C-alpha cells in the first residue's frame, strides 16, 4: 500500500471512530443508560470495538459507568461542555441591555469578547448612533495583544495561556505592542487599574478601552469594550470612558452571578 493510500485509510478510520463515539453519546442520551453489548448491537459493531470507544469517552468523563450494573450513562463532562455553551448564551443575553445603554451614552461601538483558543472572539455588539458605518465585529477573532479586550483577557489569563499568547506578537500597525517585556508590564498595569486600552494598535485610526467581566466564581470570562475612531476617542478621554466601561462590566458580572465588590 502506498503512503498516501495508508494516510487516506487512516483518516477514514478516525472519522468513523468519531462518528461512532458521537452515536454512543446519542444512544445514552435517548436510553438514559446502556451496556456495552446493547451499544455494540445498536452500532452494529463488535463488542470489543464498542468497549474501546466507551473507554475513550469515559477517559474524557463524557460517559460514566453506573455502579455495579455494568451499564453506562452520560458523564459530568457533558455537563461541563453544555455549561460552557450555556454560559456564553447567558453572557450574550445578560450583557445586551448594558451594551445598548453604553453605546447610546458613549455614542460608540460596544462589544463583549471571550477567549477563543489564542485569540478573542466578539459575541455581542451594539452600535452608537455615530457608528452607523462601523465594522461588524461579531464572530470575528482578533489578536489578544493588539486589542483592549484581548489585553484584559490576557491580564487575567492563567500563566500557561499567557505564555503561549506572548510567544508571538505580530505587528498590525506601527503602534502594536511587539516587545514581550513591555507588554507584560502593561498587562500588570491593566490588573492594577482594572481596565485596558489600545491606541491604533490593531488598525490605524481605531482606539478602544475594555474592562473585565467576571463569572460567579470571580474568574474573568469576558471583556466589555468600547471602540471608536481615534479622532473621537482620544487617549485623554480614556479615564472617563473607563469609569463607565468598568461600571458596565461590573453590572454584567453581577447579572451572570458574580457577587463580589460592586
- For the sheet with 63-66, list strands across it: 34-35, 71-74, 63-66
Domains of the chain and any CATH numbers: 3-74 (1.10.10.10), 87-255 (3.30.450.40)
Phi/psi at 143 (nearest 5 deg)?
Answer: -65, 140
Handedness of CA 69, 70, 76, 78 (dihedral sign): negative
Cell numbers at residue 171, please?
Answer: 505587528
pTM, full prediction? 0.67
pLDDT at residue 1, rounded to an integer:
47
pLDDT at residue 78, rounded to an integer:
78
pLDDT at residue 85, rounded to an integer:
58
The residues, ordered by sequence, that sit 6+ positions from 108 with a Cβ below 8 Å of its Cβ are: 128, 130, 131, 226, 227, 228, 232, 233
Instruction: Transcribe 75-135 into DSSP letters.
Output: -HHHHHHHHHHHHHHHHHHHHHHHHHHHHHHH-SEEEEEEEETTEEEEEEEE--GGGTT--
pLDDT at residue 86, rounded to an integer:
55
pLDDT at residue 220, rounded to an integer:
94
- CA-nearest of 117, 112, 116 to 137 is 112
Per-residue pLDDT tens listing for the chain (262 residues):
445 544 445 566 778 889 999 999 999 988 888 999 999 999 999 999 999 999 999 998 889 888 666 799 888 777 666 655 555 657 888 899 999 999 999 999 999 999 887 889 898 899 887 654 456 778 788 999 999 999 999 999 988 888 888 888 999 999 999 999 999 999 999 999 999 999 999 999 999 999 999 988 889 999 999 999 999 999 999 999 999 999 999 999 988 878 776 5
Amino acid at each position: 500500500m502506498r503512503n498516501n493510500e495508508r494516510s487516506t485509510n487512516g483518516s477514514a478510520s478516525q472519522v468513523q471512530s468519531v462518528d461512532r463515539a458521537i452515536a454512543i453519546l446519542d444512544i445514552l442520551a435517548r436510553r438514559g443508560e446502556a451496556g456495552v453489548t446493547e451499544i455494540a448491537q445498536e452500532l452494529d459493531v463488535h463488542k470489543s470495538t464498542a468497549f474501546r470507544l466507551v473507554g475513550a469517552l469515559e477517559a474524557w468523563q463524557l460517559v460514566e459507568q453506573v455502579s455495579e450494573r455494568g451499564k453506562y450513562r452520560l458523564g459530568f463532562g457533558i455537563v461541563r461542555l453544555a455549561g460552557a455553551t450555556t454560559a456564553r448564551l447567558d453572557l450574550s443575553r445578560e450583557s445586551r441591555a448594558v451594551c445598548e445603554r453604553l453605546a447610546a451614552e458613549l455614542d460608540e461601538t460596544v462589544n463583549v469578547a471571550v477567549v477563543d483558543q489564542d485569540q478573542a472572539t466578539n459575541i455581542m455588539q451594539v452600535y452608537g448612533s455615530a457608528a452607523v458605518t462601523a465594522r461588524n465585529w461579531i464572530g470575528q477573532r482578533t489578536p489578544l495583544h493588539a486589542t483592549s479586550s484581548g489585553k484584559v483577557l490576557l491580564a487575567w489569563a492563567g500563566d500557561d495561556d499567557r505564555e503561549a499568547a506572548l510567544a508571538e506578537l505580530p505587528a498590525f500597525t506601527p503602534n502594536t505592542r511587539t516587545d514581550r517585556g513591555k507588554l507584560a508590564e502593561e498587562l500588570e498595569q491593566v490588573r492594577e487599574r482594572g481596565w485596558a486600552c489600545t491606541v491604533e494598535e490593531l488598525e490605524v485610526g481605531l482606539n478602544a478601552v475594555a474592562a473585565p467581566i467576571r463569572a460567579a466564581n470571580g474568574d474573568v470570562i469576558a471583556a466589555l469594550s468600547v471602540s471608536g475612531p481615534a479622532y473621537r476617542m482620544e487617549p485623554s478621554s480614556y479615564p472617563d470612558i473607563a469609569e463607565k466601561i468598568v461600571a458596565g462590566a461590573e453590572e454584567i458580572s453581577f447579572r451572570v452571578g458574580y457577587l463580589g465588590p460592586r
